[in-house]
Structure 1
Amino acid sequence: MTIKNHANELEPYIEGKQDEMLQLIEQLVNIDSGSYIKEGVDQVGVILKEQYEAQGFTVDVKEQEMFGNHLVIQHKEADDPKIIIVAHMDTVFPKGTVLERPFRIEGDFAYGPGVIDMKSSHVTLLYAVKALLEAGDDAAKNVQIVLTSDEEIGSHTSRQLIEDLSEGKEYALIMEPARKDGSLVSARRGGGRYTLKVKGKAVHSGIEPQNGRSAIEELAHKVIQLHSLTDHEEGVSVNVGLIEGGTSVNTVADTAVAQVDLRITKMDQADQLAEKIEEFCAETDVDGTSIVLEGEITRPPMEKNEQTVELLEKVKEVGEEIGLDVVDTATGGGGDASFTSAKGVATVDGFGPVGGNAHSDKEYLDIRSLEERATLLAKTIQRLS
């Protein structure tokens, strides 16, 4: 692929596009598209599909039965693109949220469900691509864009798609929002979910307590054992976040359930942690009880490896060209960057615009960052091509 030098032609296109970008952001934000609202996620997908098709891109719709459809997008003249760009269309908010608090602008900030996580990212990505096309730059043909529908609930239907499309790629740019201070994300913790189901024997706690076998008592032992695996210095945390059990206060509980969240920072911690959990649950502390353990490590960590550092240096060079001081940070939250990173692709996350308070009713976008971040992304694609 021959890439012409159109670096100086990108900024003039993006400058002055803020109002256009905000109009599209408003349209996307004002659609309820929580992960379980298939029709809403698909509506977002239809809008984005039309936008890319208008630019000469092909859109392969990956139909999903329960969740929104995934989209795989690339230029109709693309030939083995080396950059994968990943963004998700779903939010965490339930149906009806838009009616309660639709998109609004106050000064330099925009508000609304999903405005920063990550509907504004879709718009900065689109305008970065438009800028490359407007400049006649073939770098636009070097990207494969993957828009997914279930990132907020663990990427269960999209993980395989992302991993498959990562094969043969050199770079992965992930469109989660930049941090509040504008930082890109160079590392993410991996993690998993487990469920412990304990079975005991129910009896009246006043008449014959000696004949009962308390599932709650057994679960209490396991909670303590699981929490003992936490090692903050090593970046490992185990949290039993939900428990339930029993039927009444005067009955020895015959059932108890715990939901467990795990976080890791290094891939080699995954097997060690899984083995330890299985070891704890292989035996009971309360005679006559039994345990069923379900779950697994669902996301590998995104580690700041040599490939990531090299990619970051290139992005920082681009930042210097446009007067932007690019810094990076690690975050405890999981994301799709973990999948591309674990496949050996140089990965940097946080290419979306600046904002904060995601997943809350105070979620916001810093409008001033829209053109800046679209320019950074466009020039990064150009540099990597």
Structure 2
Amino acid sequence: MLKEAIYAREQEMLQLLERLVNQDSGSKYKKGVDAIGHMLRQKYEKLGFIVDVATEDVVGNHLIIRHKETVRPGIVIVAHMDTVFPEGTAKERPFTIKGSRAYGPGVIDMKASQVALLTALSALVEMGDEKSYSNVHIVLNSDEEIGSHKSKIVIENVALGKDYALIMEPARANGALVSARRGGGTYTLRVYGKAAHSGIAPEEGISAIEEICYKIIELQKLNGIEEGVNVNVGLISGGEASNVVSPYAEATIDVRITEPHQGTLIDKAVRKVCAKPHIEGTNIELVGGINRYPVIKNDKTESLLAHIREAGKEIGLAIEDVATGGGSDASFTSSVHVATIDGLGPVGGGAHSIDEYLDIPTLTERTYLLAKVIQRLSNKPAMTPVNYTI
């Protein structure tokens, strides 16, 4: 019956997906993200869920959702509403279907996951499975693509004390779930010098570009600091004109770590490199830091994965898992010691590109899997007592 309830909704799911994809919701486009939130809020409230709004001034508001009959939910589910695409992208290349694939900005990362989550809960409500639909506590956040700096505390607070965390990033292209992730962070290095005409009075200038070049070389050397640590200066900018000694330069530094202790190690090293200028007269400013710690595959993860595999077996789906170098909100649930599995969304590819796509058959397939996982986790004894707070 659960399968029929979900598969009967396929066209309805695609129609909602089209609405979501055709609404721009780039992380820095608050109006668009809030429009997505409004659509989803209405849908959840019609199902009997209570939607609390965590308001934000700059990024979109976050939604914290639970059913009105919920008392002590054991599962936290996290799905982000923002995409990487700026305002106007959806108009340029709106939602389209070609064969068995759907295309459009954010279609797989992660608007299809929003549809899958809503539909799974809708089917459970339709079946009257109160034990399952009242066992979930949902966070729909608005700034995942830019680091979840605002929603991190919301996610951690909701996750605290839960037994399980299901993160709705898309499955890998081969259908695998994600059981481990690297951690990392981003820094912005700003260097201030002094402008001068390079032909008339070069001796009066102090080059910010020259200074930042010294720093970039030293930062790239940190790649050898410890196995599993990577540092990449991926963006640089600066200067005013080719005939002007540059008064300002900026670099963006991406850091990846494999083990939790490496966060402190590399943060200290980056700050040491940037602590003092090489060129007298320049000033240095460093902002940012380690934002996401690694998701480690441990005994709790293995136990949760076993339940998901059993749910997959029940519906004829073999579940594989992988580790990945990319970051996600899984870091925040994992950091408060909740068993976490990521990649529970549908299958697709080309995320963050003009070729982003969803494999349409997996929209219902993964929705069915998600519903079965919620059922399975809701019908076993809780691992720990949970105090419900928002």
Common fold: TM-score over 0.5: yes
Partner of 2:265: 272
Q: CA deviation digits over 1:344-377, x for unaligned, max 9?
A: 1100011111111011111111011112111111
Task: Provide the C-alpha distance between the structure 2 equivalents of 1:207 and 1:119, rounded to a whole number of angstroms.
Answer: 56
Residue 22 of structure 1: aligned partner: 14
Note closer, same or farther for the CA distance 1:63–1:240 as it changes in structure 2 (3 Å cut). Answer: same
Decide which of 3, 24, 40 is 1:11's aligned counterpart.
3
1:61 aligns with 2:48: no
- Residues 1:76 and 2:68 are matched in the alignment: yes
One-letter identity of the residue aligned with 1:215: A
Name the SS for the 1:99 alignment partner. Answer: helix
Q: CA deviation at 1:224?
A: 0.8
1:306-325 pair list within 5 angstroms: 306-325=299-318
Structure 1 position 136 matched with structure 2 position 128: yes
Give the C-alpha shift of residue 259 in structure 1.
1.6
Q: CA deviation at 1:202?
A: 4.2
1:136, distance to aligned residue in structure 2 (A): 2.2
Match status 1:198 vs 2:214: no
Choose 327-336 or 230-239, whichever is displaced more: 230-239
Q: Report the Cα offset of residue 206 of structure 1.
A: 4.8
Distance 2:331 2:269 in 1: 23
Structure 1 counterpart of 2:283: 290
**Unaligned stretches of 5+ in structure 2?**
379-390
Q: Hey, what's the Cα distance between the residues in 1 that align with 2:165 and 2:5?
A: 24
Query: What is the one-letter code of the residue matched to 2:192?
Result: K
Residue 5 (structure 1) aligns with: none
In 2, the alpha carbon distance for the partners of 1:282 and 1:29 equals 44
Partner of 1:102: 94
Per mean C-alpha deviation after superposition, the further-off stretch among 150-159 and 346-355 is: 150-159
Deviates more, 1:227-236 or 1:141-150: 227-236
Instruction: Please name the residue that 1:258 is paired with.
Output: 251
CA distance in 1, matches of 2:11, 2:56: 34
Q: Distance in 2 between matches of 1:356 and 1:256?
A: 35
**Equivalent of 1:357 in 350, 355, 359:** 350
Among 112, 115, 123, the alignment partner of 1:120 is: 112
1:275 and 1:247 map into 2 onto residues whose CA distance is 32
2:71 alignment partner AA: D
The normalised TM-score by structure 2 is: 0.91
Q: Which residue of 1 aligns with 2:153?
A: 160
**Matched position secondary structure for 1:256:** strand
Once the two structures are superposed, residues 161-205 of structure 1 have per-residue CA deviations (whole angstroms, 9 ceiling, x without a partner) of 101111111100011111111111112222212122223344454
2:388 alignment partner in structure 1: none
**Please, which of 136, 141, 149 is the counterpart of residue 148 of structure 1?**
141
Q: Distance in 2 between matches of 1:381 and 1:217?
A: 56
CA–CA distance in structure 2, aligned partners of residues 41 and 203 of structure 1: 44
Once the two structures are TM-superposed, the CA of residue 332 in structure 1 deviates from its matched residue by 2.0
Structure 1 residue runs of 4 or more that deviate by more than 6 Å after TM superposition:
none
Q: CA separation in 2, counterparts of 1:283 and 1:229?
A: 17
Q: CA deviation at 1:27?
A: 1.6
CA offset at residue 208 of structure 1? 5.7
Alpha-carbon separation, structure 1, partners of 2:35 and 2:271: 42
List per-residue Cα deviations over 1:51-70 (Å, max 9, x = no partner): 11121111112222222221
Instruction: Work out which of the residue numbers 32, 35, 49 in structure 2 matches 1:40.
Output: 32
Q: Which stretch shifts more, 247-256 or 341-350?
A: 247-256
Structure 1 residue 233: Cα displacement: 8.2
The whole-number CA distance in structure 2 between the counterparts of 1:273 and 1:192 is: 10
- % same residue: 58
Matched, 1:50 2:10: no
Aligned to 1:376: 369
**Rounded Cα–Cα distance in structure 2 between residues aligned with 1:35 and 1:203:** 38
Q: Which stretch has the larger CA shift, 249-258 or 356-365?
A: 249-258
- For the pair 1:31 / 2:23, whether they are aligned, the reply is yes
Report the Cα distance in structure 2 between the residues aligned to 1:201 and 1:368, rounded to whole angstroms. Answer: 59
Q: Is 1:330 matched with 2:315?
A: no
- Note the C-alpha offset of 1:76: 0.6
Distance 1:96 1:49 in 2: 24
In the alignment of these two chains, the number of paired residues is: 377
> Using a 3 Å threshold, how does the CA distance of structure 1 residues 249 and 370 change in structure 2: closer, same or farther?
closer
Deviates more, 1:110-119 or 1:35-44: 35-44
2:91 and 2:241 map into 1 onto residues whose CA distance is 40
Q: Distance in 1 between matches of 2:38 and 2:194?
A: 53
Distance (whole Å) between structure 2 residues aligned to residue 327 and residue 29 of structure 1: 28
Q: Deviations over 1:10-30 (max 9, x none)?
A: 223223322121111112111
User: Residues of 1 paired with 2:42 and 2:125: CA distance?
Assistant: 16
Which residue is equivalent to 1:3? none
Q: Which secondary structure state, in structure 1, belongs to the residue aligned with residue 279 of structure 2?
A: coil
